Amino acid sequence: MRAREAMRRIARASASASRSSSRGTMMTMLVDDVAARTSTYARCVASNARGHDRGASNASSSTSWASDEELRMMNARVELARVARGAYEDAGKGSSIRADDGVVVAPWVRALVYDVQAFEAWFARRPWMVLRRALVVGYELSLVGVGVAAQRGERRIRARKFTETLTRLGPAYIKLGQVMSTRADVFPVEYVEELAKLQDALPPADAASSIAALERELGVPIKFFDAFDQTPVAAASLAQVYRATLPGGRQVAIKLQRPGLAELVALDAVILRRFVAVVGKWRNFKSDVVGIVDELVGRIFEEMDYTKEADNCERFREVYAEDGDAGVGLAGYIGAPRVVRALSTPSVLTMEWVDGLRLTDIDGMIARGFTPSEVLDRGLRASLHQLLTTGFMHTDPHPGNLIVAANGGVAFFYFWM
């Protein structure tokens, strides 16, 4: 039934494509390509229907979460949905217009990399945008500065207001606050404790703009998913995570970059570089303050490229696969979620949903029959194995990026570095 509906979609897309002189040839080629896969798609649907009950019992294991055949089926379904929507060419392009259409595009659209010269050139032609943002930043930070200088209110209240200000100013300033929260040797304890809230207690972006960005990035409508919870399960400085159900019943976590993130970070980088360069001339800093800004913002741009994170995640899974050579106690017990490539772009990362316990949930581990010391030992051995044997290491293994999996193993997340 689904296969026949897919063929009807192809026919409609083909008819629509033939009416467009500029895109007709391209769309016809795409329709032919997708149509050639339809018989495979139909077989996959039937196979999935027969094997769904058998596979359900093993869904907790990342290695059996979805077979290669199921993922090939999903690729075909995504392609069909994009053709039917007429968005195949634009999938993964975000809010950009293709450069070969003769339209000038922003540098972060052409490539999601930190290119300060390109950013400076782009915003030099948009001075009012720079001025407006600089006034907002200057006003917000000046209010904080006046409060600190006047010793207005308790230190805890001033620290809380400073944290709220950084949150309003956006990702670059939130990242700065996160760095400051780790420097208890420099900042008062009240500031360290309040700034630490920037690690995971952030408000989500506007729901409508987020869903629109997701549909634009993936090239499929939100109704493509069997279920999609529009309330994020987590919100961080650069992204937020949604829980959804794929056609066929597999649950996934969808990591979506905050809408407009790249432009805002690039703009803040230009303003910060100009500001610290001016201040540095009369304060005579011993450090390269402009270089520090470049390092900070450059790291943010690296973190924004989810293609790299997807590659690292897949490689990590292979190292610790059940049939791998990681060794007893590690192979099959250390893992990472499987990536759904058909629904992933540089700004969207779709992965297997993994249920588990936080490393701090001692009572939960004991209730499930796990020995906390063994779980800790397994995580420690995994880190040593990465450092001393593979040379490929997860460099941010704090409790927020690790969970205890259903088999008592440890699942790692967040692979941008």
Could you report the average pLDDT of every consecutive run of 10 residues in the chain (417 residues)?
Answer: 47 43 41 43 40 35 65 86 68 45 75 90 94 93 82 83 91 86 86 85 86 92 93 89 93 94 94 86 75 88 91 92 81 91 94 90 91 90 90 82 89 85
Task: Let me know: does 9 contact 85? Beta carbons within 8 Å.
Answer: no
CB contact set of 213 (below 8 Å; sequence gap of 6+): 94, 95, 256, 257, 259, 347
pLDDT confidence of residue 344:
95
Bridge-based pairing state of the strands 239-245 and 234-235: antiparallel
The model's pTM: 0.77
pLDDT confidence of residue 269:
93
Residue 183: Cβ within 10 Å count: 11
Q: What letter would DSSP give residue 244?
A: E
d(CA 333, CA 403): 12
3-state secondary structure at position 240: strand
pLDDT confidence of residue 102:
52
pLDDT confidence of residue 64:
56
Give the active site residues.
Answer: 396
CB contact set of 343 (below 8 Å; sequence gap of 6+): 74, 78, 218, 220, 252, 254, 350
Pick from 348, 39, 29: nearest CA to 219: 348
Bridge-based pairing state of the strands 410-412 and 334-335: parallel
Task: Let me know: does 258 contact 217? Beta carbons within 8 Å.
Answer: no
Ramachandran angles phi, psi of 182, nearest 5°: -95, 0
3-state secondary structure at position 84: helix
d(CA 23, CA 376): 56
**Is the torsion defined by CA of 399, 352, 65, 56 positive or negative?**
positive
Task: Let me know: does 347 contact 256? Beta carbons within 8 Å.
Answer: yes
Residue 57: Cβ within 10 Å count: 9
Q: What letter would DSSP give residue 237?
A: S
Q: List strand residue ranges (DSSP E) for 158-224, in order.
A: none
Pick from 382, 351, 372: nearest CA to 255: 351
pLDDT confidence of residue 36:
45
Q: What is the CA radius of gyration of the chain?
A: 24
Pick from 217, 392, 220: nearest CA to 311: 392
CB contact set of 93 (below 8 Å; sequence gap of 6+): 109, 216, 217
d(CA 92, CA 215): 10
User: What DSSP element (H or E) covers 149?
Assistant: helix 127-149
Task: Let me know: does 345 contact 309? Beta carbons within 8 Å.
Answer: no
pLDDT confidence of residue 218:
92
Q: List strand residue ranges (DSSP E) for 261-321, in order.
A: none
